Amino acid sequence: MTATPIEAVRAIDRTEARGLAATENERVLALLRSLGDGDWTRTTDCPAWDVRSLSAHVLGGMEAFTSVRQLVHNMRAGAKAAGDGPFIDGMTAVQVQERADLSRADLLERLAEAGPRAARWRSRVPSLLRRAPMKETVGGVEEKWHMGYLLDVILTRDTWMHRVDIARATGQELVLTADHDGRIVADAVAEWARRHGRPFTLELTGPAGGAFASGSDGEHITMDAVEFCRVLSGRGSGDGLLATEVPF
């Protein structure tokens, strides 16, 4: 397999981000629709959440980005819930709490409605707001992000990884294609490479995989594409370059 130079992996732009978000929102909904009654209480790789709670978070993440009013509400309520703790923990806790009483049918109905709306709204956010700074902690280090990075990349990565969580928890098939999942994985690989800045050769197996390289020496890594992303997200452990965290 010929390795793609990491600098050849182009960044996800706003137009592509909308398509990836729309497809990912459809796929997580299809997965949730396929679950049986006993699947909703299964534990996930997110220790505080079973499948039902994780689904409420996914819905909350979509609905928060369907209007300015929804976004402001989620941020204010999240800040209050977080107290002195991490803001993201407060925001996700609110998303789950506010949807705890929904029936599964209502949850699925609202996911079906919010998914397309969120993909559209995120792509239409004005440039001024997309440039707004925000702080987040990755690997114990506080970083400054721009809202556009959250809108175009992180929110779709988050939904994608939670689809992985749900499939693993329930034993359901994880639908993977090169054009969609492979693109999300390649973008994560490119960010991983920027974060550690060292030479490597990486061969990722499976439908979402590919081969990537930077420099002529360095670590040689071969592993499943989904497991690679799980390790970078903190759901698995890795040594060497695999200890470099990437936000999902």
**pLDDT of 204-243, one tens digit each?**
999 999 999 999 889 999 999 999 999 999 999 999 999 9
The predicted model scores a pTM of: 0.95
> Which pair of structure tokens corresponds to residue 36?
């049986």
The 3-state DSSP class for residue 234 equals coil
Beta bridge partners of 141: 138
Backbone angles phi, psi at 243, to 5 degrees: -80, -5
The 3-state DSSP class for residue 188 equals helix
Q: What DSSP state is assigned to residue 7?
A: G
**pLDDT of 122-152, one tens digit each?**
999 999 999 999 888 888 888 899 999 999 9
pLDDT band of 115, cuts 50, 70, 90: very high
Which residue in the block uniquely carries the two structure tokens 């994985």? 185
Give, for 27, the enclosing helix (H) or strand (E): helix 14-33
**pLDDT of 162-175, one tens digit each?**
999 999 999 999 99
Task: For the domain made up of 12-170, give the CATH fold.
Answer: Four Helix Bundle (Hemerythrin (Met), subunit A) (1.20.120)
Nearest Cα neighbor of 154 from 17, 20, 247 is: 247
- Give the pLDDT of residue 141: 86
> Which pair of structure tokens corresponds to residue 229?
């992303």
Q: What is the mean pLDDT of residues 153-182?
A: 98
The residue extents of the domains of the chain are 12-170, 179-243
Residues 114 and 152: their CA atoms lie apart, in Å, by: 17
Strands 219-224, 200-205: parallel, antiparallel or unpaired by DSSP? parallel
**pLDDT of 53-99, one tens digit each?**
999 999 999 999 999 999 999 989 988 998 888 888 888 999 999 99
- CB-based contact 138:121 (threshold 8 Å): no
Q: What DSSP state is assigned to residue 123?
A: H
Indicate if the pLDDT at residue 193 is higher than 80: yes
Indicate if the pLDDT at residue 107 is higher than 80: yes
**∠ CA 167-47-60, rounded to 5°:** 70
- Give the pLDDT of residue 70: 93
